[in-house]
Amino acid sequence: MLTRLYPGLLLLMAMLLALSFAVACGDDDDDNDSGDDDNDTGDDDQADDDAVDDDSAVDDDTACPDLDGDGFTDINCGGEDCNDNDSSIFPGAEDLCDDGIDQDCDNAADDGCLAWEVQVVQDNVPECPGMSWVGESYTCWSLAFTPTDQPVVAFYDGTNEDLMVAVFTAKGWDIETVDSENQTGVDPTVDVDSTGRIGVAFKNITSASNMVSLKSGEAWITSTLLSGGGEMMGPRNPKLIFDGSDTALVGAFKGGLAGVYLYTENGAEWDSEKLFVGGDTAYPYTTFDMALSADGKLGVVWDEWEEISGIDYTQIYFGVYDFADQEQHVMVRQAEDIGQDVAVAWTAANEPYVFWTTGGIVTIQSGTGSGTSWSISTVPDPYNQIGTPLSALSDTEGNIWLNYNSDFPPTPRLAAFDGAEWTFQDVLSEGQYGQGSSFALDSLNLPGVVYRDQSSGALMYGKLTGVPEVVPE
């Protein structure tokens, strides 16, 4: 009955069935039939999502066009181009220097554009005095930054044998005498606390004493901390740092069985504590260094000279002192045939890096680890012609920085390690210079360096200035 009454209906049903089968097999206009309901014929393109509306054009929504044809649509309608009227401005473009334009759309103009600015701190500064028993020189200048990134330089004025401190102000370098007592002021280390208070640890050659001066108002308060032993066995290279509570800490190594001493500021007094004992024939060789980790541990490193079977050796010692439990942890000793300088810094993960120089053509060795398990490597300086002294710091991101003098070219050199690779930066200018460089990092992790120009005899300050590279999150 139905076949006679509705023959046209059966024909229509057959046609619909054939059509649905053809669509299922791909005979439609949808070029993405995998379940993406936002990718159909006639859909609106979304800015910068690379989806298609089946018209062979990507992101062609007329409400958010790519006006300058650089491949990025306007940021005002959901795109990423911060200037859609200039094809040289887009994410990933090269930021040109000194034009004030943010070419790479990272909200920072001229980022990554860094340059050295160099100026004279004081003219006619004599070379560091030598040490007769090893033929090495003292360290004669040190650098720190105030909380407002003003450079502070402590230096030994060999002309008058005085300890001087220079602070850079709007009127230039303000230089004052800290201590003028008789061959004083070599091996200075300067630091500044969070309030701007300046402290300097240094050595008096005449008395073979370690001294410290803290600035209180307009006056310098000087104290003798560690003395005795003469030039050969007496303390050298005192290190001053302010901890997180703005308390001054001064550490040093003294020869013989004396070992490592730590002095802690306690009002107008200084508390003394012996942290580690030196070796049997412990002659202090060249340098001592210490650094605080983020979790409150003090790492100390020093080198001692001794003769073994008629051959001179330097023993590299490293120790950790934990303020939290007042315990001294196991020292690790690394023996090297020649050692001239040592330095220590901590990574963001509270991992210590110990550095020392070694070899006829001087190279820098580094060790990192704990207990008796240490990984030793060589800092890959491109020339391996390295002068001393050696110093190390970690920046606020936990990267490790080194400062030393390059013999080729004759300039202070900085090396930075991000945990994967080393990069190198030279302070280049005309003339022969670079003696005894010291460095510090400002609040942007940009380095400053102080050194003596060997051609002019002037004490120089160099600062890497500009805007660091902005890394998108």
Q: What is the pLDDT of residue 54?
A: 40
Question: Among 318, 415, 314, which Cα is nearest to 358's?
Answer: 314
Q: What is the pLDDT of residue 46?
A: 47
The answer to whether the pTM exceeds 0.85 is: no
Q: What is the pLDDT of residue 10?
A: 39
Say how far residue 374 (Cα) sits from the centre of its chain. Answer: 22
Is 336 a residue whose pLDDT tops 60? no
- Burial class of 48 by CB neighbour count within 10 A (0 to 12, 13 to 18, 19+): buried
- Beta strand pairing call for 283-292 and 269-276: unpaired
| Alpha carbon distance 455, 127 (integer Å) | 11
pLDDT band at 53 (very low <50, low <70, confident <90, very high): very low
Stretch among 58-72, 78-92, 185-199, 456-470 having the lowest mean pLDDT: 58-72
Question: How many residues does the structure list for the chain?
Answer: 473
Instruction: Check: CB of residue 172 under 8 Å from CB of residue 153.
Output: no
pLDDT band at 5 (very low <50, low <70, confident <90, very high): very low
Instruction: Check: CB of residue 427 under 8 Å from CB of residue 406.
Output: no
- Beta strand pairing call for 172-179 and 162-169: antiparallel
Q: Which two tokens stand for residue 425?
A: 């930066």
Angle (CA) 389 395 399, round 5°: 90
Question: Among 342, 343, 272, which Cα is nearest to 303's?
Answer: 342
Q: What is the pLDDT of residue 280?
A: 55
Assess whether the previous peptide bond of 409 is cis (omega < 30° from 0): yes
End-to-end CA distance of the chain: give it in Å, rounded: 74
More confident residue, 305 or 404: 404
Instruction: Check: CB of residue 354 under 8 Å from CB of residue 346.
Output: no
Look at residue 290 and give its three-state secondary structure: strand
Stretch among 39-48, 218-227, 345-354 having the lowest mean pLDDT: 39-48
What's phi and psi for 233, nearest 5 deg? -105, -5
Q: In what order do the strands lie in the sheet with 248-254?
A: 236-242, 248-254, 259-266, 269-276
Other Cβ atoms less than 10 A from the Cβ of 140: the count is 27
What is the share, in percent, of the chain residues with pLDDT greater than 70? 74
Q: Which residue has the tokens 């005899």?
A: 457
Stretch among 12-21, 267-276, 315-324, 410-419 having the lowest mean pLDDT: 12-21
Buried b (16+ CB within 10 A) or exposed e, 77-98: eebbbbbbeebebbbebebeee
Other Cβ atoms less than 10 A from the Cβ of 102: the count is 18
List, for residues 115-125, the tens digit of each pLDDT value.
Answer: 889 999 999 99
Question: Among 417, 416, 457, 415, which Cα is nearest to 436's?
Answer: 457
Stretch among 207-216, 291-300, 351-360, 462-471 having the lowest mean pLDDT: 462-471
Is 131 a residue whose pLDDT tops 70? no
pLDDT band at 132 (very low <50, low <70, confident <90, very high): very low
Instruction: Check: CB of residue 287 under 8 Å from CB of residue 303.
Output: yes
More confident residue, 262 or 129: 262
List, for residues 424-449, the tens digit of each pLDDT value.
Answer: 988 876 666 677 889 999 998 999 99
Is 21 a residue whose pLDDT tops 70? no
| Alpha carbon distance 199, 187 (integer Å) | 14
Q: What is the pLDDT of residue 62?
A: 58
Q: What is the mean pLDDT of residues 376-394?
A: 85
pLDDT band at 401 (very low <50, low <70, confident <90, very high): very high
Is 146 a residue whose pLDDT tops 90? yes
Q: What is the mean pLDDT of residues 293-303?
A: 90
Average per-residue pLDDT in the chain?
79
Other Cβ atoms less than 10 A from the Cβ of 297: the count is 17
| Alpha carbon distance 383, 361 (integer Å) | 10
Helix H or strand E segment including 373: strand 373-378
More confident residue, 134 or 62: 62
Say how far residue 438 (Cα) sits from the centre of its chain. Answer: 13
Is 460 a residue whose pLDDT tops 50? yes
Question: Among 342, 261, 260, 257, which Cα is nearest to 306's?
Answer: 257
Stretch among 49-63, 71-85, 137-151, 327-341 having the lowest mean pLDDT: 49-63
pLDDT band at 472 (very low <50, low <70, confident <90, very high): low
More confident residue, 55 or 199: 199
Q: Which domains does the chain have, with CATH numbers?
A: 47-99 (no CATH), 117-466 (2.130.10.10)
Q: What is the pLDDT of residue 211?
A: 94
| Alpha carbon distance 94, 111 (integer Å) | 10
Sign, CA dihedral 214-294-273-269, equals positive
List, for residues 97-107, the tens digit of each pLDDT value.
Answer: 778 888 888 88
| Alpha carbon distance 311, 57 (integer Å) | 77
| Alpha carbon distance 137, 450 (integer Å) | 17
